[in-house]
Amino acid sequence: MAASQREDWRDYVLPRKDDADLEREGQIEAQKLADYYNENSIVVDYGCGIGRVLKYVAEGAYRVIGIDICSGFLDKAKEAVKRDNVEFYLPEEYHERNVADLVYAIMVLQHNTKDNQVAIIENIKKILKKGGVAVINFPRYESPYYAETEILHKFKREEIDALGNRFDSYKIVEGNLAGYARESSGNNEYYLIGYKESEIANDPYRVLITSRFVSGKTAGGGSSRFMKCVADTLESMGHSVISTSDPASYADQRFDLIIGSHQRQFNDISKNTSPKVWISHGIIPDEILLPGADHYISVSGEVREKNKNNGIDSETILQPIAIGKRIRPNDTLANILIIRRPEYNTPHDPFTFLSKIYNVKISDPNIPIESQIEWADLCITVGRGALESMAQGKPVIIADNRDYNGAIGDGYVTSDNIAEIAKCNFSGRRYRIPITNKWLKSELDKYNADDSETLYQYIRKNHDAHMIVNKYLRFAGGKQIHLVMPFWRKHQKDVLTEAYRPMNIIMHPITFEDEAVEWDEQWILPVAVPFHSSKYGHLQEPQNVKRNWFIQNHEIIDSDYYVSCDDDDMYESNVFNEIKKMDDDVVIISMKRGNRTPSNIHHLRAYGTNTLDAEPRCIGIGSISNQMSFVKGSVFKKYTYDYDHCADGRLAILRRENDEQTAFRPDLFALFNYYEPGRWDIRVNK
């Protein structure tokens, strides 16, 4: 049972703590971190638990991200911390790189295996930006306050040195966690302060960005600058990005994610099997979504409704904006920038008269829009231009004359109307007020330089590019395949690593505490069962103890596929990509079993060589094996294994009796005991 699901969860995790203790100690720990962040900082609480420290850090930071492996604790944190600048994620949901000024982990690593400790440090390094700091504490080995247990590891100084060496530089200090160790003297924790002095881009995604325009130039309009912002943000996170307005030349290439907009580009890339996120920026015909993408996004409620009426529902995710430096405009309005594409400059321009009263410029398509906005006190524009203007703290009037809208506007943006105007993406279509000289003058009379801060903070809260792009990355790679592998044959480590590395999966080797092996590749996420193997030697299938431990204690993603195999099994090369295209609760494949049954093995493991075919009648004891069943996480976590040789078949029967949606793929093959000596004469094409 997860700790958060226990009725006595607080006593279990934080013994002898009441609500007042938690509040006070969280506040103290936040104060101890205060030297490492300020009002402009992005901070990550790695292992945030119920948010008792995070809630106080959030009072003094720009943006705070809480990450925890326990969804139950995240639910409690969300209830306790209701702030606009705070987000919560499971580890597998958070993909940002090179963004955080501070990452802290309080009382986290001692509950992890050595392999997991290294993986956590490496992930923290990826999240930190250049110049960022990590603060991580550990129970001291010498402290009498802590007891070494199955769920808590005490650290020697040399162990922390080994972890510290993974940073560009580090230091170790001694201290006491607030509220802990009062009954003993001295310092009971080590604090590792790690520094990141250069950007890194480990395991980057390969992303294709495609749109009608991708240059980011003003002449390409808001959608061009939108996609350029997405590309720049991904690159700042360390990902590999290709941007093109002609995706047809990449139709046969594999990407972790394709992010695109506009119909022609979609038609040119639609047959590519990589996961595709398609974005609708507006209501003109070329931006309406087409069937065939994996995920759909609309930039406002109005755009979503338009697409829904055309048969495609989508998720509303606001536009990403690179937040600039706020430049307060003049107290008295003098300089006005009209942001528009050149084709919208017409003889009947409703803004012509303004040049007789103010210094007026029309945006230059050859100059970066940011430098033009810097000059202005106020901008008149619609759509993305309005967001970019507010991102530099410039007041805005939503108005323009466009062929698909006419000469309409929503007026001067204030804190009172911004939420309503945003529903239609600052397009002028929320209120559809006809532009006249009289109306425009009345809106200009509302100019107030003090609105600069309010508008700027609105953009920071709702449109920060890293926050928005991180939402796109949820879809990277599509469905994941998790290989749940009880592991005990240590000599197979390198063989399995080489064999499975090209297959784009996540491997979970599961070991008892006396079988631990160090893994150093990011796609391999080891799991340690905190018991000695000798405890289960009497069982027919002790490896099922490991499987059950994973099911009962590990975070399982509902939409991903899980398959359990042994540490001498293999799959043909096309299996995992084909399974990722499926959407059934259970997918059963066939299994080849080699050329001969080895003679020198126990009779209970003297399996035959006949192929087990994927068909309904294979669901039974003796005719199906773990390796053949790919199971959605939502189903996988509902069932555990018995501890005898019939467990595989019994579990398959139970899923069938419970009417789990099942598909059969007889054309796909697992390779049973592929690395067992004497079973296979010739290695097949994997």
Give the CATH number of domain 479-671.
3.90.550.10
Q: Which two tokens stand for residue 561?
A: 């596929």
Distance CA 686, CA 671 (A): 9
- pLDDT, residue 187, reads 77
Alpha helices, DSSP H only, in 485-585? 493-500, 543-553, 575-580
* Close Cβ partners of 25 (under 8 Å, ≥ 6 residues apart): 17, 52, 177, 178, 179
* Close Cβ partners of 358 (under 8 Å, ≥ 6 residues apart): 333, 334, 335, 336
Residue found under tokens 């059950």: 548
Q: Tell me phi and psi for residue 78, to 5 degrees.
A: -65, -35
Residue found under tokens 């993986």: 119
Residue found under tokens 């499971």: 90
Q: Please check whether the two domains, 206-316 and 479-671, share a CATH topology.
A: no
* Close Cβ partners of 501 (under 8 Å, ≥ 6 residues apart): 521, 523
> Can you give the pTM of this predicted structure?
0.59
* Close Cβ partners of 55 (under 8 Å, ≥ 6 residues apart): 26, 80, 81, 83, 86
Q: Which two tokens stand for residue 306?
A: 């338009």
Number of alpha carbons in the 13 Å side-chain half-sphere of residue 305:
6
Give how far the C-alpha of residue 236 lies from the chain's centroid of Cα atoms, to the nearest Å: 15
- Tell me which fold the domain 3-195 belongs to: Rossmann fold (3.40.50)
Distance CA 529, CA 163 (A): 22
Residue found under tokens 């990902």: 239
- Tell me which fold the domain 206-316 belongs to: Rossmann fold (3.40.50)
* Structural domain boundaries in the chain: 3-195, 206-316, 335-464, 479-671
- pLDDT, residue 260, reads 96
Distance CA 310, CA 291 (A): 10
- pLDDT, residue 357, reads 95
Amino acid identity, residue 597? T
Give how far the C-alpha of residue 333 lies from the chain's centroid of Cα atoms, to the nearest Å: 43
Mean pLDDT by 10 residues, the chain (686 residues): 45 57 84 91 94 94 92 90 90 82 91 79 88 90 72 82 88 79 64 80 78 82 91 86 95 90 95 89 92 91 95 93 90 96 70 94 90 96 96 96 86 97 95 96 97 94 87 75 92 90 85 87 82 85 90 83 92 86 89 83 71 90 90 92 82 90 92 86 52
Sheet holding 433-434, edge to edge: 359-362, 335-338, 378-381, 396-402, 406-412, 433-434
Task: Find out whether 572 and 686 touch, Cβ atoms under 8 Å.
Answer: yes
- pLDDT, residue 427, reads 94
